[in-house]
Amino acid sequence: MDSRREKKKIKKLAKRKKRFRRVLLILTIIILATFAYVNAHLNNLKTTNISKDDESLGIKKKDDGKVINIALFGGDSREENDVVHSDSIMILSIDKANKKLKLSSIMRDTYVDVYGHGMTKINHAYAYGGPELAIRTLNENFNLDIRNYAFVDFYSFEELIDAVDGIDIDIKESEIKEINRCIREVAAIENKQPILIEKPGINHLNGQQSLAYSRIRKVGGGDFERTERQRKVMDELFRKGKDIDINKYPEIIDSIFPYIETSLSKMEIMKLGTYVLTNNIETIDQARFPKDEHSHGKFIGKVWYLVTDLEETEKQIHQFIYENMVQVKID
């Protein structure tokens, strides 16, 4: 009897292993097919070559490889010959030591030294010298090791948000007038019908409305809350992205890739994407710099700047990125 039972157990185990191998094979095929599709469509990205040597990028101290920092710049060019300013400046940190994603927003009016141009607003660096000078400005002022960037046209957010069927955002009463003004402005540029926000509270925003929400600046402390709104949009996209149906990947990829410019190679993008997926990273730690207690608004000449203690801000950025100090955590 014992030998029969043993044989039955062995047969059951063999069947389970066989089923498991089949499931694993199917999953592997799906994953490989997905990555093959992504890899093929990476050609839709606009890739650029920038200098990677330390001097050109203003790198004084190399990282040990446990944290990968990528500069993220956001903006739009409404006319063909417009000079592009980086209206949104963020640093995406992939913290391999703690298996975390971190997002640091840098205030666009921060008064910093831009190589060859002296002290001015940090967002001017992109207009003066493109992504290479913008990266150099971040590295030199905050002693960072950033070697790559991605520039995202703001209108890609609209396409992406529509592709994931919108996001939920809590709209304040004080924001309604300004968001509707921005919605009308965006709609006019795109020659579309504006869909206005009618009430405060949780609103399900489409792409056009989300883009307008990200651009609000005249309420809530100007750029202070503007960067917070942009991080909220990013976080909601991250949430939706985790649960997105695999069948929607092609639509999403085709929607956003044409709006992205990057210095990352196809292989680097695939590696970083694989790392985030395989390590089950489900949150983004977020912070905004400079901090209120170490900065103040000041008119220099007739221009308003956000003047900060650069040494203290560098220290706080390093604490957040490298020392696992969480400023804001959204689950």
Query: Looking at the structure, do residues 236 and 111 belong to the same domain, yes or no?
Result: no
Give strand pairing partners of 203: 169
Query: Looking at the structure, do residues 33 and 75 belong to the same domain, yes or no?
Result: no
271 within some domain = yes
Place 125 in a pLDDT band, splitting at 50, 70 and 90: very high
Query: Looking at the structure, do residues 34 and 106 belong to the same domain, yes or no?
Result: no
Note the pLDDT of residue 79.
Answer: 47
85 within some domain = yes
160 within some domain = no
Phi, psi of 26 (to 5 degrees): -60, -45
Three-class secondary structure assignment of 193-229: CCCCCCCCEEEEECHHHHHHHHHCCCCCCCHHHHHHH
Residue 26 predicted with pLDDT over 60: no
Note the pLDDT of residue 254.
Answer: 74
The tens digit of pLDDT for each residue in 139-190 reads 999 999 999 999 888 777 788 888 888 999 999 999 999 999 999 988 888 8
Closest CA to 183 of 155, 204, 205, 211: 211
Which domain CATH number covers 189?
3.40.630.190
Query: Looking at the structure, do residues 142 and 53 belong to the same domain, yes or no?
Result: yes
How many domains does the chain divide into?
3
- Other beta carbons within 10 Å of 326: 13
Query: Looking at the structure, do residues 91 and 223 belong to the same domain, yes or no?
Result: no
What is the rounded CA–CA span in Å between residue 20 and residue 28? 12
Note the pLDDT of residue 266.
Answer: 80
Q: What is the pTM of this model?
A: 0.76
The tens digit of pLDDT for each residue in 267-326 reads 888 788 778 777 777 678 889 999 989 899 999 999 999 999 999 999 999 999 998 644
**Do residues 48 and 131 touch, judged by C-beta distance below 8 A?**
yes
250 within some domain = no
319 within some domain = yes
Mean pLDDT score of the chain: 81
Three-class secondary structure assignment of 101-153: EEEEEECCCEEEEECCCEEEECCHHHHHHHHHHHHHHHHHHHCCCEEEEEEEE
Last residue of a domain, one of 243, 278, 299: 243
Query: Looking at the structure, do residues 57 and 149 belong to the same domain, yes or no?
Result: yes
Which domain CATH number covers 90?
3.30.420.590
Note the pLDDT of residue 330.
Answer: 37
**Do residues 69 and 145 touch, judged by C-beta distance below 8 A?**
yes
**DSSP per position, 217-270:** -SSSTTHHHHHHHHHHHHHHHHHHHHT--GGGHHHHHHHHGGGEEES--HHHHH
Query: Looking at the structure, do residues 195 and 141 belong to the same domain, yes or no?
Result: no
Note the pLDDT of residue 326.
Answer: 46
249 within some domain = no
Question: 315: buried, middle or exposed (CB in 10 Å: 19+, 13-18, 0-12)?
Answer: middle
Query: Looking at the structure, do residues 190 and 62 belong to the same domain, yes or no?
Result: no
Return the SS3 of 273: helix
Note the pLDDT of residue 10.
Answer: 56
Strands 303-308 and 88-95: unpaired
For 200, the domain range is: 165-243
The tens digit of pLDDT for each residue in 29-63 reads 555 555 566 666 677 778 889 998 999 999 998 88
Strands 100-106 and 88-95: antiparallel
Query: Looking at the structure, do residues 189 and 136 belong to the same domain, yes or no?
Result: no
Query: Looking at the structure, do residues 205 and 71 belong to the same domain, yes or no?
Result: no
254 within some domain = no
Query: Looking at the structure, do residues 178 and 215 belong to the same domain, yes or no?
Result: yes
Query: Looking at the structure, do residues 145 and 287 belong to the same domain, yes or no?
Result: yes
Strands 111-114 and 118-121: antiparallel
Residue 237 predicted with pLDDT over 90: no
Which tokens hold the place of 97?
A: 């030591």
